[in-house]
Structure 1
Amino acid sequence: MATPLKETIARVFEEPGCDKNAVKSEKERKKGCTKQLTPGAAAGGCAFDGAKIALQPIVDVAHLVHGPIACEGNSWDNRHSASSGSTIYRTGFTTDIHELDVIHGAEKRLFKAIREVIEKQDPPAVFVYQTCVTGLIGDDIEAVCKRATEKFGKPVVPVNAPGFAGPKNLGNKLGAEALLTYVIGTQEPAYTTPYDINIIGEYNLSGELWQIKPLLDALRVRILSCISGDGRYAEVASSHRAKANMMVCSKSMINIATRMQERYGIPYFEGSFYGISDMSTTLREIARLLVERGADAELKDRTEALIAVEEARAFERIRAYKARLAGKKVLLITGGVKSWSVVSALQEAGLEVVGTSVKKSTREDKEKIKEIMGLTAEDSAHMIDDMTPRQMYAMLRDAKADIMLSGGRSQFVALKARMPWMDINQERHHAFAGYEGMVTMIDEIDKALHNPMWAQVRAPAPWEAEDRLLRAQSAQQLAAEAAPG
């Protein structure tokens, strides 16, 4: 008989909204996304890390990690997901199990930890994360959470995504499964409107959601729930009353969108907040879906009027950068939705993308890259499946790219090549979403490219210059001595 975790993983692997899953044979689909993790190689994350990344931006929930303290330490506060209110999500809660817990079991320790968190913090809910060690010793977190919910009268949600289950992307979906099973549909909103939407897969990194919300407010569109950036437990629990869903982050929580469509008849679409044209397309699609679901037809007119104003202002502001950025080449090492949406944004500023990583991209993402970059069906030279640090270094050293945009793990490759680098992933400190974010992105690229530091670090060190001068003088002296008469 399959364990609940196996059943959940099997359900995720049968996800109809996954492009990769759709093209697999029956035999391949049964295997699922079973790429084995390399022992000792933490780069890229595990299922636990993926689940916690997906759910921790729900800011008023206490996130309790059931496992060794290192699991909480490695996953704590590693993304700049901002909050407009509660900050309890930034507090690291863990059961901190030890050797005796491994021998005797740690379920009682977990129950006591839940009670302590509720008594001291009084959150609206507690999310409990399973980890490798507690999963291997057989701790039944579902049973403990059920008992704690009955005892304390607060939702205690088990997130069964131990690291050994698979990679980070699987963990994103297992975290989403926990919301679908225990949270979504368990409460009712105070009121509803014909303009209610859910945004799924937006984590409010560096406050990006707050650059989108004023645009929606101007259209009188209400974000009923953001899953999960700057989210609240009650909003997520009542998100089943929205009129439309928008998928943001390249299918990372696609199972929420497809299951809500099945259960509640809520249509969804995938959009992007990066780039001027993509932002406008997203606003038009939101308006179209809401009008189809009962909103007034004037919403489309308001949307077009807003787009006209915002596009004119954004293009006017980036026009000043185009002369300075003309001909500059960008190497984009990221994945998912950013593998194509950021390409569109860079091209709008006159930058040339010489390569973009597609390691974490879906088949649909790759098709969008080809369309945006004007590639033929056979051409994939600009689409990099997996570039090694040595290849990145060679590309930058040989000046095939003027700047690299990537996550923090790749920054030292660019710095070693003495080339500009800018953070485009979740650790960044600037918000790049929406019309305003596009201007911010171009400004940051301009500052990175034209920083006078690069001329200094590429110049010979003072002692190297002095050594060259001495060698030149010595060579001239030897030549003079060797000259006849």
Structure 2
Amino acid sequence: MSLLRAKIQDVFNEPACEENRGKDAKARKKGCSKPLTPGAAAGGCAFDGAKIVLQPITDVAHLIHAPLACEGNSWDNRGAASSGPTLWRTSFTTDLTELDVVMGQGERKLFKAIREIKEAYGPPAIFVYPTCVTALIGDDIEAVCKRAAEKFGLPVVPVNTPGFVGSKNLGNKLAGEALLEHVIGTVEPDDAGPYDINILGEFNLSGEFWLVKPLLDRLGIRVRACIPGDARYFDIACAHRARAAMMVCSTALINLARKMEQRWDIPFFEGSFYGITDTSEALRKISQLLVKKGADPEILGRTEALIAEEEAIAWKKLAAYRPRLEGKRVLLNTGGVKSWSVVHALMEIGIEIVGTSVKKSTVEDKQRIKQILKDDNHMFEQMAPRELYDMLSEREADIMLSGGRTQFIALKAKTPWLDINQERQHPYAGYDGMVELVRQIDLAIHNPIWRQVREPAPWDCQPAVREELPSTKSDSATLHAVQEFAGTTADDFGEC
């Protein structure tokens, strides 16, 4: 446990973060993440964060040493996609019971589970995750993994991130530490070249990295390792021989990028593949870093030619949507890299941003938003559901882009909604991804269902009777009044 505590303190002291460098030594030890409230892990715990980062490594067996519910709550927590292996979709757990805890059978059960996975599936590696229960009872995960690796002849990687140690973001970083300590640099490739790069913090959600990789292939740039999206264990083990790296989500893996630069001299930059301008800028920076590391400078010219060609195609496709979307107002309730990259992407086609959430954004992310929007009046740390509903029901935004947690607020307010978080069904990265994002926004805003659901219900349309029927009239008078009412026309009804 003392070793885990030391790792946590090391992760909090992040020199690559400008905000963290400005703090004193005592403040740096506290980190940027808010401490978890006991029993309130709805935003994700450290174990959940580690699974998010490592589970998209597709050919690895991910074994959860814990009661069954821990794996049930974290399995398939992101919509990452694989171009090949499907082992990562198989759920492995030791299913620890009360009897195992009382009798001290946890470590023995873990060792047996590792052996069964090795014999049945033969994976290139097994990642073992303890959770709160197994950490509290003191199971020595690292010792079991070391013994199993020696016994079975394959890497068994301990990912020591029990949920109670901190937030999901901390779990992201500790997962990066596990890769540094046990995986990266353990295999020497025989085909290293001057055009090899790493992509860090890219999860290949809905397969969107597959829209970017062909662009790099056309430039002769090879992605040595994409961590973690559609990754293979061997590729990550060889990642230390890349010449440059691009970091997509700094909140998750900035410690991984920094330490790889320190150990193996792999320069990195933070960029985005969302939006035309940002995609082009990312391709330029990748080429520039490779040239600094010894690649032929002619790649710079080829990069500009590719950018000009792809931008012309994308803008031509987007021209059809501009008249329909220009001036439309969008509310972004997301975080991280999307809080600024999607803002920039939408403003490129004339869409107005009425607000963007910065709850999960770094200080650098917030600075970028200020530069793009020219002020911080459209930034909000968090918005209560009632406030969000009031804003949408008063038609201050034409559409909300967010994750599944807030979709029902938008639907209740009868406002179009589009999922841009990890559960989304469409890829939005690269030039083609930007076109797809705009197409989905157009489809959502102009869906005729919104005009229909905003109309009053038929039972809310009451007829405007000229005069009330008096209850004291005689039967003949009442009959006459009814006959008179029956002869009314549509003009006699109230507006609906």
TM, length-normalised to structure 2: 0.93
Q: Which residue number corresponds to residue 281 of structure 2?
A: 281
Residue 42 (structure 1) aligned with residue 41 (structure 2): yes
Summarize deviations over 1:439-473 as a string: whole Å, max 9, x none.
Answer: 000000000101111112112223333xx23xx23
Q: Which residue number corresponds to residue 316 of structure 2?
A: 316
Q: Which amino acid aligns with 1:437?
A: G
Q: Which amino acid aligns with 1:419?
A: T
Residue 477 (structure 1) aligned with residue 467 (structure 2): yes
Contact 2:33 2:169 in 1 (8 A): no
Q: Once the two structures are aligned, what percentage of the paired residues are identical?
A: 64
Q: Compared with structure 1, are the counterparts of its residues 34 and 434 closer, same or farther at alpha carbon in structure 2 (3 Å cutoff)?
A: closer
Q: Which residue number corresponds to residue 460 of structure 1?
A: 456
Q: Compared with structure 1, are the counterparts of its residues 19 and 163 closer, same or farther at alpha carbon in structure 2 (3 Å cutoff)?
A: farther
Greater mean deviation of Cα atoms: 194-203 or 21-30: 21-30
Q: 2:381 aligns with which of 366, 372, 385?
A: 385
Q: 2:446 aligns with which of 444, 450, 457?
A: 450
Aligned equivalents of 2:410, 2:179: Cα separation in 1: 39
Residue 149 (structure 1) aligned with residue 149 (structure 2): yes
**Which secondary structure does the structure 2 equivalent of 1:399 belong to?**
coil
Summarize deviations over 1:312-344 as a string: whole Å, max 9, x none.
Answer: 111110111111112211110111111100001
Once the 2 structures are TM-superposed, how far is the Cα of residue 293 of structure 1 from its aligned partner? 0.7
Q: Which amino acid aligns with 1:43?
A: A
Q: 1:437 aligns with which of 386, 408, 433?
A: 433
Contact 1:395 1:401 in 2 (8 A): yes
Runs of 5+ consecutive residues of structure 2 not aligned to the other structure: 473-496
Q: Which residue number corresponds to residue 71 of structure 1?
A: 70
Aligned equivalents of 1:250, 1:356: Cα separation in 2: 18
Once the 2 structures are TM-superposed, how far is the Cα of residue 56 of structure 1 from its aligned partner? 0.5
Q: Which residue number corresponds to residue 401 of structure 1?
A: 397
Aligned equivalents of 1:396, 1:23: Cα separation in 2: 38
Contact 1:19 1:362 in 2 (8 A): no
Aligned equivalents of 1:464, 1:182: Cα separation in 2: 66
Residue 221 (structure 1) aligned with residue 217 (structure 2): no
Once the 2 structures are TM-superposed, how far is the Cα of residue 34 of structure 1 from its aligned partner? 5.7
Alignment of 1:141-220 (within 5 A): 141-220=141-220
Once the 2 structures are TM-superposed, how far is the Cα of residue 391 of structure 1 from its aligned partner? 1.3
Q: Which amino acid aligns with 1:356?
A: T
Aligned equivalents of 2:351, 2:416: Cα separation in 1: 15
Once the 2 structures are TM-superposed, how far is the Cα of residue 38 of structure 1 from its aligned partner? 2.9
Contact 1:82 1:206 in 2 (8 A): yes
Residue 416 (structure 1) aligned with residue 412 (structure 2): yes
Contact 1:407 1:427 in 2 (8 A): yes
Once the 2 structures are TM-superposed, how far is the Cα of residue 32 of structure 1 from its aligned partner? 2.9
Aligned equivalents of 1:248, 1:84: Cα separation in 2: 20
Which consecutive aligned stretches of 4+ in structure 1 deviate over 6 angstroms post-superposition?
479-482
Greater mean deviation of Cα atoms: 450-459 or 202-211: 450-459
Aligned equivalents of 1:32, 1:313: Cα separation in 2: 44
Q: Which amino acid aligns with 1:352?
A: E
Aligned equivalents of 1:208, 1:46: Cα separation in 2: 26
Pairs aligned (count): 471
Alignment of 1:128-139 (within 5 A): 128-139=128-139
**Which secondary structure does the structure 1 equivalent of 2:207 belong to?**
coil
Q: Which residue number corresponds to residue 484 of structure 2?
A: none
Runs of 5+ consecutive residues of structure 1 not aligned to the other structure: none
Aligned equivalents of 1:307, 1:123: Cα separation in 2: 40
**Which secondary structure does the structure 2 equivalent of 1:331 belong to?**
strand
Aligned equivalents of 1:130, 1:480: Cα separation in 2: 78
Aligned equivalents of 1:477, 1:20: Cα separation in 2: 72
**Which secondary structure does the structure 2 equivalent of 1:336 belong to?**
coil
**Which secondary structure does the structure 2 equivalent of 1:251 belong to?**
helix
Q: Which amino acid aligns with 1:422?
A: L
Q: Which residue number corresponds to residue 6 of structure 1?
A: 5
Once the 2 structures are TM-superposed, how far is the Cα of residue 24 of structure 1 from its aligned partner? 2.2
Q: Which amino acid aligns with 1:52?
A: K
Summarize deviations over 1:283-308 as a string: whole Å, max 9, x none.
Answer: 00000000111111110000000000
Greater mean deviation of Cα atoms: 323-332 or 36-45: 36-45
Q: Which amino acid aligns with 2:440?
A: E
Q: Which residue number corresponds to residue 494 of structure 2?
A: none
Once the 2 structures are TM-superposed, how far is the Cα of residue 16 of structure 1 from its aligned partner? 1.0
If you compute each CA radius of gyration, which structure gives the higher value, 1 or 2? 2
**Which secondary structure does the structure 2 equivalent of 1:120 belong to?**
helix
Contact 2:356 2:378 in 1 (8 A): yes
Q: Which amino acid aligns with 1:228?
A: P
Q: Which residue number corresponds to residue 17 of structure 2?
A: 18
Q: Which amino acid aligns with 2:221?
A: V
Once the 2 structures are TM-superposed, how far is the Cα of residue 26 of structure 1 from its aligned partner? 1.6
Q: Which residue number corresponds to residue 243 of structure 2?
A: 243
Once the 2 structures are TM-superposed, how far is the Cα of residue 43 of structure 1 from its aligned partner? 2.2
Aligned equivalents of 1:301, 1:414: Cα separation in 2: 46
Once the 2 structures are TM-superposed, how far is the Cα of residue 68 of structure 1 from its aligned partner? 1.2
Q: Which residue number corresponds to residue 96 of structure 2?
A: 97
Summarize deviations over 1:239-271 as a string: whole Å, max 9, x none.
Answer: 000000110013311111100111011101001
Contact 2:202 2:228 in 1 (8 A): yes
Greater mean deviation of Cα atoms: 320-329 or 152-161: 320-329
Aligned equivalents of 1:311, 1:34: Cα separation in 2: 38
Alignment of 1:211-360 (within 5 A): 211-360=211-360
Aligned equivalents of 2:114, 2:2: Cα separation in 1: 24
Q: Which residue number corresponds to residue 53 of structure 1?
A: 52
**Which secondary structure does the structure 2 equivalent of 1:355 belong to?**
strand
Aligned equivalents of 1:7, 1:321: Cα separation in 2: 53
Q: Which residue number corresponds to residue 82 of structure 1?
A: 81
Aligned equivalents of 1:324, 1:477: Cα separation in 2: 47
Once the 2 structures are TM-superposed, how far is the Cα of residue 208 of structure 1 from its aligned partner? 1.0
Q: Which amino acid aligns with 1:399?
A: R
Aligned equivalents of 1:218, 1:33: Cα separation in 2: 40
**Which secondary structure does the structure 1 equivalent of 2:368 belong to?**
helix
Summarize deviations over 1:205-239 as a string: whole Å, max 9, x none.
Answer: 00111001000001000001111100000000010
Contact 1:18 1:251 in 2 (8 A): no
Aligned equivalents of 2:37, 2:453: Cα separation in 1: 37
Contact 1:327 1:352 in 2 (8 A): yes
Q: Which amino acid aligns with 1:37?
A: L
Residue 366 (structure 1) aligned with residue 362 (structure 2): no
Q: Which residue number corresponds to residue 116 of structure 1?
A: 116
Aligned equivalents of 2:270, 2:31: Cα separation in 1: 23
